[in-house]
Amino acid sequence: MRPLILAGLGLVAGLVVHFILGPGFHNNLTTLQASSVTGVVFVAGLTGFTLERRLWWWSLLFAAALALVGALVVAWNGTPEDWSVGEGWRMVSLLLAVAVAAPLFQAARDEGARRFPYESVHDHAWTNVVLWFACWVFVAIVFALAWLLALLFDLIKIDFLKELLEKDWFWRSLIGLAFGAALGLLREHDGVVRLLQRVVAMVLAVLAPVLAVGLVLFVVALPFTGLNALWEATKSTTPILLFCVAGALVLANAVLGNAPDQERRFPLLRYGAMGLAAVMLPLAVLATIAISLRTGQYGFTPQRLWAIVFVALACLWGGAYLYALVRGRLDWAARIRPLNLMLAFVVCGVALVLATPLVSFNAISTRDQVARLESGKVTPEQFDWRALAFDFGAPGRAALKKLQGSANATIKARANEVATAKMRWDVRDTSEQARNRAQVTANVRMLQPGTSLPEALRERMAQGYICTREQKCGVLLIGESEALVFEDSCFAAPKPAAKAPSPAPPPVRIACRDGVRYHLENGKWEQGSAARATSAQDEQAISDGYAAGNVEIRTVPRRQVYVGGVPVGDPFE
């Protein structure tokens, strides 16, 4: 019965979602639509994952309660059209809270009381994850088969199924039907799910020593390489480190299992899990330093505040695992299991609070960025006006309106300009232009002693991302209205060959050695060669000469760039 019940529930949920959204793809949902869809999806999904014959009404009440909470949270956040970049993370936070709450409820329901045995909670958590991915794989297979049949019948001019699959009400209902049917079938055959869960856990456990060796070597190498190399390598240091912590957490728990009798006892796996537990906190601390440096340099943004939350949770989890390892040593698993359970409650509560507007990262970021602007820490040119107008939500727009009345004329003018923008790309990114201009200044080498780079040319090169970042360049001024820009990397000395091939191949021309040409036109530097202006008389002469066959080749003097006595690029004229 359960497969039929869940398939029917999924079908109804898909139809209800269609009636709420209406036909077509909608970028902008109303608050009522967003909250209603959230409620419908939550009640159907949670019922499907938690429904059991025993205490079935508990599952229905739990699903209804969380669906109501989810719908109210989404409604509290306001119209999705007005959500900023940071507020989108609130939905992720809400989904995380629900995902953690489900196995906690399932364990309590199995016990028939408010007790949460670790073995039951951990088992339900892994089972739910396996079911989630398996159901979506089934949905993908159903759609692949449906489209295959539709295209097959379309070959003989029967396009009914193809037209049906293109209708919004049908494919939305089919998603719900397929997902519900897969969930019901898999939950009806618990043995298959348990086997699949054990296979997944075993595969992940085998990977634990591999990741442990890599992370331990990384941490051990840091005192010799220094932290500067870590910050200079990429701007994505924090997310990379957080993913490493998350991977270590998942793989370590795959080794630990649900209970002592399920723990992997093979020494390589066991010590691999211990290595992962040992490096989680150092990696989390490095992520803390990275995000601290980033916020100290550029201030708060909603994304950085979310990163701070994730880093704090990583430090909390890393600290718990290191504590269990130090106190328990080889028997550390017995200490970490209750800590895992406690941390699950913490994550669930924190995620639910952060899903609501109780803590406004937009307001915090707006206050910090405006304070940096008004204090002079950043100039109006360096300030990220796009973020203030379009990424910080209502607090950002309110601050922008306030800055329109600023006593600083430059800030006021820029705020008035930004306020007229309809989209974020309508706002000139002066902060990026200022960074590019500074990079051009640092990277350019004048090839003629005693010359300097014209300011207007510097501005144009910055706009075109020429000589920015790590790109070193040489500039050759050709009179007052022409310039050539060469990339240093195009002129790197060739590496000597170990043995000259016979016969020697012809020399390869490096196209980038031609350089980037600029010419001054109407007071502005433009990329490319200047077009030769022709008069009406010239045009008439060309037309008459071609008609008369008066075409000839003449030897003329030319201007050509020479590097080391060798001609490079095309002649100027």
Query: Could you tell me the two tokens for 183?
Result: 């969930």
> In which band, very low, low, confident or very high, does the pLDDT at 73 lie, cut at 50, 70 and 90?
very high
Average pLDDT of every residue of the chain: 87
DSSP 8-state assignment for residue 555 = -
> ∠ CA(477), CA(481), CA(487), 5° rounding?
40
- 29: Cβ contacts below 8 Å, ≥ 6 apart: 21, 37, 79, 80, 81
pLDDT digits (tens, 9 = 90+) for 467-510: 988 889 999 998 888 898 988 888 776 666 555 555 555 444 44
Asked if pLDDT for residue 569 goes beyond 80, the answer is: no
Cα Dmax for the chain? 104
Is 476 in contact with 483 (CB distance < 8 Å)? yes
Half-sphere exposure of 541 (CA within 13 A, CB side): 5
How far, in Å, CA of 239 to CA of 266, rounded? 32
Is 272 in contact with 253 (CB distance < 8 Å)? no
Scanning 189-227, the segments in alpha helix (DSSP H) are 190-225
How far, in Å, CA of 559 to CA of 572, rounded? 6
Least confident of 95-99, 327-331, 361-365: 327-331
- Residue 350's nearest CA partner among 359, 361, 338 is 359
How far, in Å, CA of 472 to CA of 484, rounded? 14
**pLDDT for position 529:** 65
Of residues 297 and 429, which shows the higher confidence score?
Answer: 297
- For the chain, the first-to-last Cα distance in angstroms comes to 84
pLDDT digits (tens, 9 = 90+) for 194-240: 888 889 889 999 999 999 999 999 999 988 888 777 766 556 888 99
**pLDDT for position 450:** 87
pLDDT digits (tens, 9 = 90+) for 389-409: 888 888 999 999 999 998 989
> In which band, very low, low, confident or very high, does the pLDDT at 463 lie, cut at 50, 70 and 90?
confident
Is 337 in contact with 116 (CB distance < 8 Å)? no
Is 94 in contact with 352 (CB distance < 8 Å)? yes
Mean pLDDT of all residues in 37-43? 95
- Return the domain boundaries, the chain: 1-188, 361-428, 431-489+513-528+561-573
Least confident of 336-345, 415-424, 504-513: 504-513
pLDDT digits (tens, 9 = 90+) for 341-351: 999 999 999 99
Is 343 in contact with 319 (CB distance < 8 Å)? no
